[in-house]
Chains A and B, each alone.
Chain A
Protein backbone atom coordinates (compact mmCIF):
# COMPACT_ATOMS: atom_id res chain seq x y z
CA UNK A 1 0.00 0.00 0.00
CA UNK A 2 1.50 3.29 -0.99
CA UNK A 3 -0.46 5.57 1.29
CA UNK A 4 0.94 5.56 4.80
CA UNK A 5 -0.87 6.33 8.01
CA UNK A 6 -0.89 9.89 9.24
CA UNK A 7 1.71 10.91 11.77
CA UNK A 8 -0.64 10.84 14.77
CA UNK A 9 -1.67 7.19 14.55
CA UNK A 10 0.37 4.07 15.05
CA UNK A 11 1.12 2.04 11.93
CA UNK A 12 1.21 -1.72 11.40
CA UNK A 13 -1.45 -4.40 12.07
CA UNK A 14 -4.92 -3.46 10.86
CA UNK A 15 -3.67 -0.07 9.71
CA UNK A 16 -1.20 -1.63 7.28
CA UNK A 17 -3.92 -3.72 5.62
CA UNK A 18 -5.32 -2.50 2.32
CA UNK A 19 -8.77 -0.86 2.73
CA UNK A 20 -10.44 -3.33 0.38
CA UNK A 21 -10.35 -6.38 2.72
CA UNK A 22 -11.80 -4.14 5.44
CA UNK A 23 -14.58 -2.96 3.11
CA UNK A 24 -15.23 -6.59 2.18
CA UNK A 25 -15.33 -7.50 5.89
CA UNK A 26 -17.86 -4.72 6.55
CA UNK A 27 -20.11 -5.70 3.63
CA UNK A 28 -19.95 -9.47 4.15
CA UNK A 29 -20.35 -9.36 7.96
CA UNK A 30 -23.34 -7.00 7.90
CA UNK A 31 -24.98 -8.89 5.00
CA UNK A 32 -24.46 -12.27 6.67
CA UNK A 33 -25.90 -11.17 10.02
CA UNK A 34 -28.93 -9.58 8.32
CA UNK A 35 -29.63 -12.76 6.31
CA UNK A 36 -29.44 -15.09 9.29
CA UNK A 37 -31.51 -15.06 12.48
CA UNK A 38 -29.41 -17.78 14.08
CA UNK A 39 -27.82 -16.61 17.33
CA UNK A 40 -24.75 -18.92 17.25
CA UNK A 41 -24.08 -17.89 13.64
CA UNK A 42 -24.19 -14.19 14.49
CA UNK A 43 -22.12 -14.82 17.62
CA UNK A 44 -19.56 -16.62 15.42
CA UNK A 45 -19.38 -13.59 13.10
CA UNK A 46 -18.94 -11.39 16.17
CA UNK A 47 -16.05 -13.61 17.37
CA UNK A 48 -14.33 -13.26 13.95
CA UNK A 49 -14.61 -9.49 14.22
CA UNK A 50 -13.23 -9.40 17.77
CA UNK A 51 -10.37 -11.73 16.73
CA UNK A 52 -9.62 -9.43 13.78
CA UNK A 53 -9.36 -6.46 16.12
CA UNK A 54 -7.19 -8.31 18.65
CA UNK A 55 -4.88 -10.00 16.12
CA UNK A 56 -4.75 -6.76 14.11
CA UNK A 57 -3.21 -5.01 17.11
CA UNK A 58 -6.08 -2.57 17.71
CA UNK A 59 -6.05 -0.87 21.10
CA UNK A 60 -9.20 -2.42 22.55
CA UNK A 61 -9.60 0.31 25.18
CA UNK A 62 -9.61 2.95 22.44
CA UNK A 63 -12.07 0.88 20.37
CA UNK A 64 -14.38 0.46 23.38
CA UNK A 65 -14.13 4.18 24.09
CA UNK A 66 -15.21 4.96 20.52
CA UNK A 67 -18.23 2.66 20.56
CA UNK A 68 -19.20 3.10 24.24
CA UNK A 69 -22.26 5.25 23.52
CA UNK A 70 -23.48 2.78 20.89
CA UNK A 71 -22.96 -0.16 23.28
CA UNK A 72 -25.13 1.60 25.86
CA UNK A 73 -27.79 2.20 23.21
CA UNK A 74 -27.73 -1.48 22.20
CA UNK A 75 -28.03 -2.52 25.86
CA UNK A 76 -30.97 -0.16 26.34
CA UNK A 77 -32.69 -1.53 23.22
CA UNK A 78 -32.17 -5.08 24.54
CA UNK A 79 -33.76 -4.25 27.89
CA UNK A 80 -36.73 -2.40 26.36
CA UNK A 81 -37.38 -5.20 23.84
CA UNK A 82 -37.27 -7.83 26.62
CA UNK A 83 -39.57 -5.88 28.97
CA UNK A 84 -42.27 -5.18 26.39
CA UNK A 85 -42.21 -8.47 24.48
CA UNK A 86 -41.60 -10.94 27.33
CA UNK A 87 -39.81 -14.28 26.76
CA UNK A 88 -40.61 -14.31 23.03
CA UNK A 89 -38.98 -10.96 22.78
CA UNK A 90 -35.84 -12.13 24.55
CA UNK A 91 -34.64 -14.14 21.55
CA UNK A 92 -35.59 -11.38 19.16
CA UNK A 93 -33.83 -8.84 21.36
CA UNK A 94 -30.70 -11.03 21.45
CA UNK A 95 -30.66 -11.36 17.65
CA UNK A 96 -31.24 -7.64 17.17
CA UNK A 97 -28.55 -6.66 19.69
CA UNK A 98 -26.00 -9.10 18.22
CA UNK A 99 -26.67 -7.80 14.71
CA UNK A 100 -26.16 -4.23 15.87
CA UNK A 101 -22.96 -5.28 17.65
CA UNK A 102 -21.66 -6.84 14.42
CA UNK A 103 -22.33 -3.63 12.48
CA UNK A 104 -20.74 -1.47 15.18
CA UNK A 105 -17.61 -3.66 15.45
CA UNK A 106 -17.25 -3.85 11.66
CA UNK A 107 -17.40 -0.04 11.61
CA UNK A 108 -14.78 0.04 14.39
CA UNK A 109 -12.51 -2.07 12.16
CA UNK A 110 -13.08 0.39 9.29
CA UNK A 111 -11.98 3.19 11.61
CA UNK A 112 -8.59 1.46 11.88
CA UNK A 113 -7.60 3.01 8.57
CA UNK A 114 -7.26 6.31 6.74
CA UNK A 115 -10.27 7.95 5.09
CA UNK A 116 -8.07 8.94 2.13
CA UNK A 117 -7.21 5.27 1.53
CA UNK A 118 -10.89 4.28 1.51
CA UNK A 119 -11.58 7.02 -1.04
CA UNK A 120 -8.78 5.72 -3.24
CA UNK A 121 -9.97 2.13 -2.78
CA UNK A 122 -13.54 3.04 -3.77
CA UNK A 123 -12.30 4.87 -6.87
CA UNK A 124 -10.02 1.94 -7.80
CA UNK A 125 -13.04 -0.35 -7.33
CA UNK A 126 -14.62 1.70 -10.16
CA UNK A 127 -17.15 3.50 -7.97
CA UNK A 128 -17.97 6.82 -9.72
CA UNK A 129 -15.53 9.32 -8.20
CA UNK A 130 -18.29 11.89 -7.66
CA UNK A 131 -19.98 9.47 -5.21
CA UNK A 132 -16.72 8.64 -3.44
CA UNK A 133 -15.97 12.36 -3.04
CA UNK A 134 -19.46 13.05 -1.69
CA UNK A 135 -18.61 10.67 1.16
CA UNK A 136 -15.17 12.13 1.84
CA UNK A 137 -16.34 15.74 1.74
CA UNK A 138 -19.08 14.82 4.21
CA UNK A 139 -16.49 13.27 6.52
CA UNK A 140 -14.23 16.30 6.06
CA UNK A 141 -17.04 18.51 7.36
CA UNK A 142 -17.48 16.61 10.63
CA UNK A 143 -14.48 18.06 12.55
CA UNK A 144 -15.25 21.53 11.15
CA UNK A 145 -18.86 21.33 12.31
CA UNK A 146 -17.74 20.01 15.71
CA UNK A 147 -15.37 23.00 16.09
CA UNK A 148 -18.15 25.36 15.02
CA UNK A 149 -20.53 23.82 17.58
CA UNK A 150 -17.93 24.20 20.35
CA UNK A 151 -17.31 27.83 19.32
CA UNK A 152 -21.01 28.74 19.30
CA UNK A 153 -21.45 26.98 22.67
CA UNK A 154 -18.58 29.06 24.09
CA UNK A 155 -19.93 32.30 22.57
CA UNK A 156 -23.36 31.66 24.12
CA UNK A 157 -21.76 31.05 27.52
CA UNK A 158 -19.67 34.20 27.15
CA UNK A 159 -22.90 36.09 26.55
CA UNK A 160 -24.21 34.89 29.89
CA UNK A 161 -26.07 31.68 29.02
CA UNK A 162 -25.24 29.11 31.71
CA UNK A 163 -26.38 25.76 30.30
CA UNK A 164 -25.76 23.92 33.58
CA UNK A 165 -28.23 26.03 35.52
CA UNK A 166 -31.08 25.72 33.00
CA UNK A 167 -34.08 23.43 33.44
CA UNK A 168 -34.83 20.79 30.81
CA UNK A 169 -37.33 22.93 28.84
CA UNK A 170 -35.06 25.97 28.81
CA UNK A 171 -32.05 23.78 28.01
CA UNK A 172 -33.86 22.32 24.98
CA UNK A 173 -34.72 25.84 23.82
CA UNK A 174 -31.13 26.95 24.32
CA UNK A 175 -29.82 23.96 22.37
CA UNK A 176 -32.20 24.72 19.50
CA UNK A 177 -30.60 28.16 19.44
CA UNK A 178 -27.29 26.33 19.14
CA UNK A 179 -28.47 24.12 16.27
CA UNK A 180 -29.75 26.86 13.98
CA UNK A 181 -26.44 28.73 13.51
CA UNK A 182 -24.63 25.39 13.06
CA UNK A 183 -27.13 24.33 10.39
CA UNK A 184 -26.97 27.71 8.65
CA UNK A 185 -23.15 27.61 8.81
CA UNK A 186 -23.10 24.06 7.41
CA UNK A 187 -25.34 25.01 4.48
CA UNK A 188 -23.26 28.09 3.68
CA UNK A 189 -20.03 26.08 3.96
CA UNK A 190 -21.38 23.31 1.71
CA UNK A 191 -22.38 25.89 -0.90
CA UNK A 192 -18.99 27.67 -0.80
CA UNK A 193 -17.10 24.36 -0.89
CA UNK A 194 -19.05 23.12 -3.91
CA UNK A 195 -18.12 26.34 -5.76
CA UNK A 196 -14.48 26.02 -4.67
CA UNK A 197 -14.39 22.39 -5.88
CA UNK A 198 -15.66 23.41 -9.32
CA UNK A 199 -13.09 26.22 -9.37
CA UNK A 200 -10.44 23.56 -8.75
CA UNK A 201 -11.50 21.63 -11.83
CA UNK A 202 -13.80 19.05 -10.23
CA UNK A 203 -15.75 17.28 -13.01
CA UNK A 204 -13.99 19.41 -15.63
CA UNK A 205 -12.72 16.30 -17.39
CA UNK A 206 -14.42 12.98 -18.20
CA UNK A 207 -12.36 11.29 -15.46
CA UNK A 208 -9.51 12.05 -13.08
CA UNK A 209 -6.05 10.69 -12.44
CA UNK A 210 -4.63 9.83 -9.02
CA UNK A 211 -1.24 10.70 -7.58
CA UNK A 212 -1.30 7.67 -5.28
CA UNK A 213 -2.25 4.12 -6.11
CA UNK A 214 -3.11 1.31 -3.73
CA UNK A 215 -1.73 -2.11 -4.54
CA UNK A 216 -2.91 -5.28 -2.81
CA UNK A 217 -0.37 -7.66 -1.33
CA UNK A 218 -0.88 -11.44 -0.99
CA UNK A 219 -2.21 -11.06 2.58
CA UNK A 220 -4.76 -8.49 1.43
CA UNK A 221 -6.03 -10.78 -1.34
CA UNK A 222 -6.27 -13.72 1.08
CA UNK A 223 -8.18 -11.60 3.63
CA UNK A 224 -10.57 -10.30 0.97
CA UNK A 225 -11.50 -13.91 0.12
CA UNK A 226 -11.28 -15.18 3.73
CA UNK A 227 -14.00 -13.04 5.31
CA UNK A 228 -16.98 -13.89 3.08
CA UNK A 229 -15.90 -17.55 3.01
CA UNK A 230 -15.65 -17.83 6.81
CA UNK A 231 -19.03 -16.15 7.32
CA UNK A 232 -20.69 -18.53 4.85
CA UNK A 233 -18.88 -21.49 6.47
CA UNK A 234 -20.14 -20.44 9.91
CA UNK A 235 -23.64 -20.41 8.43
CA UNK A 236 -23.23 -24.02 7.21
CA UNK A 237 -21.93 -25.10 10.63
CA UNK A 238 -24.61 -23.45 12.80
CA UNK A 239 -27.69 -23.20 10.58
CA UNK A 240 -28.94 -26.75 10.16
Chain B
Protein backbone atom coordinates (compact mmCIF):
# COMPACT_ATOMS: atom_id res chain seq x y z
CA UNK B 1 0.00 0.00 0.00
CA UNK B 2 1.43 3.39 -0.99
CA UNK B 3 1.81 6.30 1.40
CA UNK B 4 0.21 9.72 0.95
CA UNK B 5 2.09 12.02 -1.44
CA UNK B 6 2.91 14.56 1.28
CA UNK B 7 4.45 11.91 3.56
CA UNK B 8 8.15 11.16 3.01
CA UNK B 9 8.89 8.76 5.88
CA UNK B 10 6.35 6.36 7.32
CA UNK B 11 6.41 3.34 9.62
CA UNK B 12 3.41 1.05 10.07
CA UNK B 13 3.08 -1.31 13.04
CA UNK B 14 6.85 -1.47 13.08
CA UNK B 15 8.64 -3.57 15.70
CA UNK B 16 12.25 -4.62 15.94
CA UNK B 17 14.33 -6.78 18.29
CA UNK B 18 18.10 -7.16 18.21
CA UNK B 19 19.32 -10.77 18.02
CA UNK B 20 19.71 -12.52 21.39
CA UNK B 21 23.27 -12.46 22.76
CA UNK B 22 23.13 -16.10 23.82
CA UNK B 23 20.87 -19.07 24.56
CA UNK B 24 17.92 -18.11 26.71
CA UNK B 25 18.71 -14.41 26.53
CA UNK B 26 15.74 -13.23 24.49
CA UNK B 27 15.80 -9.44 24.29
CA UNK B 28 12.83 -7.21 24.75
CA UNK B 29 11.85 -5.36 21.54
CA UNK B 30 13.99 -2.28 20.92
CA UNK B 31 11.01 -0.85 19.03
CA UNK B 32 7.40 -1.90 19.51
CA UNK B 33 4.45 -1.10 17.27
CA UNK B 34 5.76 2.19 15.91
CA UNK B 35 3.33 4.10 13.71
CA UNK B 36 4.87 7.33 12.52
CA UNK B 37 4.34 9.51 9.46
CA UNK B 38 6.73 12.37 8.71
CA UNK B 39 5.67 14.96 6.17
CA UNK B 40 7.86 16.30 3.40
CA UNK B 41 9.64 19.51 4.45
CA UNK B 42 8.91 19.10 8.16
CA UNK B 43 11.18 19.08 11.21
CA UNK B 44 10.61 16.23 13.66
CA UNK B 45 12.47 15.89 16.95
CA UNK B 46 12.68 12.47 18.63
CA UNK B 47 12.71 12.87 22.39
CA UNK B 48 13.21 10.26 25.09
CA UNK B 49 15.53 8.88 27.74
CA UNK B 50 18.71 6.99 26.81
CA UNK B 51 18.04 3.47 25.56
CA UNK B 52 14.43 4.16 24.55
CA UNK B 53 15.07 3.23 20.90
CA UNK B 54 15.64 6.60 19.22
CA UNK B 55 18.89 5.59 17.50
CA UNK B 56 17.42 2.21 16.53
CA UNK B 57 14.45 3.97 14.93
CA UNK B 58 16.83 6.25 13.00
CA UNK B 59 18.74 3.21 11.76
CA UNK B 60 15.48 1.69 10.56
CA UNK B 61 14.61 4.84 8.66
CA UNK B 62 17.96 4.77 6.84
CA UNK B 63 17.61 1.09 5.94
CA UNK B 64 20.67 0.15 8.05
CA UNK B 65 18.16 -2.01 9.95
CA UNK B 66 17.52 -4.65 8.64
CA UNK B 67 19.90 -4.43 5.64
CA UNK B 68 23.13 -4.19 7.65
CA UNK B 69 22.09 -4.81 11.26
CA UNK B 70 20.07 -7.99 11.54
CA UNK B 71 17.29 -8.77 13.98
CA UNK B 72 13.63 -9.71 14.19
CA UNK B 73 11.45 -7.23 12.35
CA UNK B 74 7.73 -6.88 11.75
CA UNK B 75 5.74 -4.09 10.13
CA UNK B 76 6.73 -1.77 7.30
CA UNK B 77 8.94 1.24 6.63
CA UNK B 78 8.22 3.53 3.66
CA UNK B 79 10.66 6.07 2.26
CA UNK B 80 9.35 8.28 -0.52
CA UNK B 81 6.38 5.93 -0.94
CA UNK B 82 8.50 2.79 -1.33
CA UNK B 83 8.62 0.02 1.25
CA UNK B 84 12.28 -0.55 2.14
CA UNK B 85 12.41 -3.01 5.04
CA UNK B 86 11.27 -6.09 3.09
CA UNK B 87 12.38 -5.14 -0.43
CA UNK B 88 15.76 -6.79 -1.12
CA UNK B 89 16.21 -4.63 -4.22
CA UNK B 90 16.55 -1.54 -2.01
CA UNK B 91 20.11 -1.10 -0.75
CA UNK B 92 21.41 1.19 1.99
CA UNK B 93 23.74 2.81 -0.55
CA UNK B 94 20.87 3.62 -2.91
CA UNK B 95 18.84 5.03 0.00
CA UNK B 96 21.75 7.31 0.93
CA UNK B 97 20.88 9.52 -2.04
CA UNK B 98 17.45 10.05 -0.42
CA UNK B 99 18.23 10.00 3.30
CA UNK B 100 21.36 11.32 4.96
CA UNK B 101 22.29 10.14 8.45
CA UNK B 102 24.68 12.00 10.75
CA UNK B 103 25.78 9.58 13.47
CA UNK B 104 26.33 10.31 17.17
CA UNK B 105 30.08 9.70 16.91
CA UNK B 106 31.72 11.72 14.12
CA UNK B 107 34.85 9.53 14.38
CA UNK B 108 32.78 6.61 13.10
CA UNK B 109 31.58 8.58 10.11
CA UNK B 110 34.77 10.29 9.01
CA UNK B 111 36.82 8.00 6.77
CA UNK B 112 39.18 10.13 4.72
CA UNK B 113 42.52 11.70 5.66
CA UNK B 114 41.72 15.27 4.58
CA UNK B 115 38.71 17.45 5.39
CA UNK B 116 37.85 18.21 1.75
CA UNK B 117 38.21 14.54 0.74
CA UNK B 118 35.85 13.49 3.50
CA UNK B 119 33.18 15.96 2.42
CA UNK B 120 33.63 14.75 -1.17
CA UNK B 121 33.39 11.07 -0.15
CA UNK B 122 29.56 10.82 -0.36
CA UNK B 123 29.05 12.75 -3.62
CA UNK B 124 31.92 10.77 -5.20
CA UNK B 125 30.18 7.52 -4.20
CA UNK B 126 27.01 8.78 -5.87
CA UNK B 127 29.06 9.48 -9.04
CA UNK B 128 28.30 13.21 -9.14
CA UNK B 129 30.39 15.22 -11.66
CA UNK B 130 33.78 16.39 -10.28
CA UNK B 131 33.07 20.09 -10.88
CA UNK B 132 29.76 19.86 -8.98
CA UNK B 133 31.49 18.00 -6.14
CA UNK B 134 34.19 20.70 -5.92
CA UNK B 135 31.66 23.52 -5.66
CA UNK B 136 29.59 21.60 -3.11
CA UNK B 137 32.70 20.81 -1.03
CA UNK B 138 33.85 24.44 -1.07
CA UNK B 139 30.37 25.58 0.01
CA UNK B 140 30.27 23.08 2.90
CA UNK B 141 33.76 23.98 4.08
CA UNK B 142 32.68 27.60 4.25
CA UNK B 143 29.24 26.88 5.78
CA UNK B 144 30.66 24.58 8.44
CA UNK B 145 33.31 27.07 9.55
CA UNK B 146 36.17 24.90 8.33
CA UNK B 147 37.78 27.47 6.02
CA UNK B 148 41.57 27.06 5.89
CA UNK B 149 41.33 23.43 7.00
CA UNK B 150 40.49 21.83 3.66
CA UNK B 151 43.65 19.72 3.61
CA UNK B 152 43.91 19.12 7.36
CA UNK B 153 43.72 15.55 8.61
CA UNK B 154 40.38 15.18 10.49
CA UNK B 155 42.19 13.46 13.37
CA UNK B 156 43.70 16.90 14.13
CA UNK B 157 40.27 18.58 14.44
CA UNK B 158 38.47 19.34 17.69
CA UNK B 159 35.30 17.44 18.65
CA UNK B 160 33.07 20.28 17.45
CA UNK B 161 34.94 20.60 14.16
CA UNK B 162 34.63 16.85 13.58
CA UNK B 163 30.89 17.09 14.20
CA UNK B 164 30.61 19.93 11.69
CA UNK B 165 32.70 17.94 9.20
CA UNK B 166 30.40 14.92 9.59
CA UNK B 167 27.42 17.20 9.00
CA UNK B 168 29.04 18.85 5.95
CA UNK B 169 29.79 15.42 4.49
CA UNK B 170 26.11 14.50 4.53
CA UNK B 171 24.87 17.93 3.39
CA UNK B 172 27.19 17.68 0.37
CA UNK B 173 25.21 14.61 -0.74
CA UNK B 174 22.13 16.82 -0.89
CA UNK B 175 19.60 14.19 0.24
CA UNK B 176 15.86 14.83 0.38
CA UNK B 177 15.71 13.99 4.09
CA UNK B 178 18.29 14.18 6.85
CA UNK B 179 18.47 12.38 10.18
CA UNK B 180 20.70 13.76 12.94
CA UNK B 181 21.52 11.59 15.93
CA UNK B 182 22.40 13.88 18.87
CA UNK B 183 24.02 16.51 16.65
CA UNK B 184 24.64 18.97 19.48
CA UNK B 185 26.71 16.67 21.68
CA UNK B 186 30.11 18.10 20.68
CA UNK B 187 29.06 21.61 19.66
CA UNK B 188 29.79 24.81 21.56
CA UNK B 189 27.27 27.67 21.82
CA UNK B 190 28.29 29.13 18.45
CA UNK B 191 28.15 25.70 16.82
CA UNK B 192 24.65 25.13 18.24
CA UNK B 193 23.44 28.47 16.89
CA UNK B 194 24.92 27.69 13.47
CA UNK B 195 23.34 24.25 13.52
CA UNK B 196 19.82 25.41 14.41
CA UNK B 197 20.12 28.10 11.71
CA UNK B 198 21.15 25.44 9.22
CA UNK B 199 18.16 23.27 10.19
CA UNK B 200 15.81 26.18 9.52
CA UNK B 201 17.50 26.70 6.14
CA UNK B 202 17.04 23.01 5.31
CA UNK B 203 13.34 23.27 6.12
CA UNK B 204 12.91 26.39 4.03
CA UNK B 205 14.68 24.52 1.20
CA UNK B 206 11.99 21.83 1.42
CA UNK B 207 14.14 19.19 3.14
CA UNK B 208 12.66 16.76 5.65
CA UNK B 209 14.59 16.73 8.91
CA UNK B 210 14.56 14.26 11.83
CA UNK B 211 16.61 15.11 14.90
CA UNK B 212 17.36 12.98 17.95
CA UNK B 213 18.29 15.35 20.75
CA UNK B 214 18.19 15.38 24.53
CA UNK B 215 18.31 19.17 24.50
CA UNK B 216 15.04 19.28 22.56
CA UNK B 217 13.97 22.70 23.93
CA UNK B 218 16.41 24.20 21.40
CA UNK B 219 14.10 22.96 18.69
CA UNK B 220 10.89 24.62 19.79
CA UNK B 221 10.50 25.72 16.17
CA UNK B 222 10.12 22.07 15.08
CA UNK B 223 6.84 20.94 13.55
CA UNK B 224 6.60 17.97 15.88
CA UNK B 225 8.17 16.48 18.95
CA UNK B 226 7.85 12.71 19.05
CA UNK B 227 8.13 11.31 22.57
CA UNK B 228 9.48 7.78 23.00
CA UNK B 229 9.81 5.51 26.02
CA UNK B 230 10.79 1.82 26.26
CA UNK B 231 10.72 1.43 22.47
CA UNK B 232 7.20 2.86 22.09
CA UNK B 233 5.82 6.15 20.83
CA UNK B 234 4.04 7.95 23.65
CA UNK B 235 3.00 11.12 21.95
CA UNK B 236 3.62 13.06 18.72
CA UNK B 237 2.47 16.64 18.45
CA UNK B 238 3.52 20.27 17.94
CA UNK B 239 5.87 21.40 20.76
CA UNK B 240 3.30 23.92 22.03
CA UNK B 241 0.68 21.18 22.40
CA UNK B 242 2.81 18.82 24.46
CA UNK B 243 2.26 19.29 28.20
CA UNK B 244 5.58 19.90 29.98
CA UNK B 245 4.39 17.65 32.79
CA UNK B 246 4.39 14.76 30.30
CA UNK B 247 8.01 15.47 29.41
CA UNK B 248 9.14 15.82 32.99
CA UNK B 249 7.08 13.12 34.68
CA UNK B 250 6.53 10.44 32.10
CA UNK B 251 9.83 10.31 30.22
CA UNK B 252 12.37 10.71 32.98
CA UNK B 253 10.50 9.22 35.90
Contact = CB atoms under 8 A, between A and B. Distances in A.
Interface of A: 4-8, 114-116, 133, 136-137, 139-140, 143-144, 147, 189, 192-205, 207-213
A209 B124 contact: yes
Contacts of A139: 113
Nearest to B131: A211
B128 A198 contact: no
Given A4-B151, A200-B122, A208 B108 contact: no
Given A5-B151, A115-B113, A209-B128, 10 more contacts: A7-B151, A116-B112, A140-B110, A192-B108, A193-B111, A194-B68, A198-B64, A198-B68, A198-B96, A203-B93
B105 interface: yes
Nearest to A201: B125
B111 A210 contact: no
Contacts of A205: 93, 125-127
Interface string B34-65: 00000000000000000000000000001010
Contacts, number: 122
A51 to B, nearest CB: 29
B127 A199 contact: no
B155 to A, nearest CB: 4
Nearest to B59: A195
A194 to B, nearest CB: 8
A115 B96 CA distance: 26
Nearest to A205: B127
A116 B119 CA distance: 13
A196 B111 contact: yes
Interface residues of B, number: 46
Contact of A140 (B68, B113, B137): B113
Contacts of A199: 62, 64, 92, 96, 100-101, 103
B97 interface: yes
A114 B111 CA distance: 15
Contacts of A133: 111
Interface string B169-211: 1100100000000000000000000000000000000000000
Contact of B105 (A192, A194, A212, A213): A192
B215 to A, nearest CB: 23
A208 B130 CA distance: 10
Contact of B114 (A116, A192, A197): A116
A12 to B, nearest CB: 16
A197 B111 contact: yes
A137 B124 CA distance: 16
Contacts of B74: none
B77 interface: no
Nearest to A115: B113
B140 to A, nearest CB: 12
Given A198-B68, A209-B129, A189 B108 contact: yes
Interface in B84-104: 91-94, 96-97, 100-101, 103
A34 B151 CA distance: 37
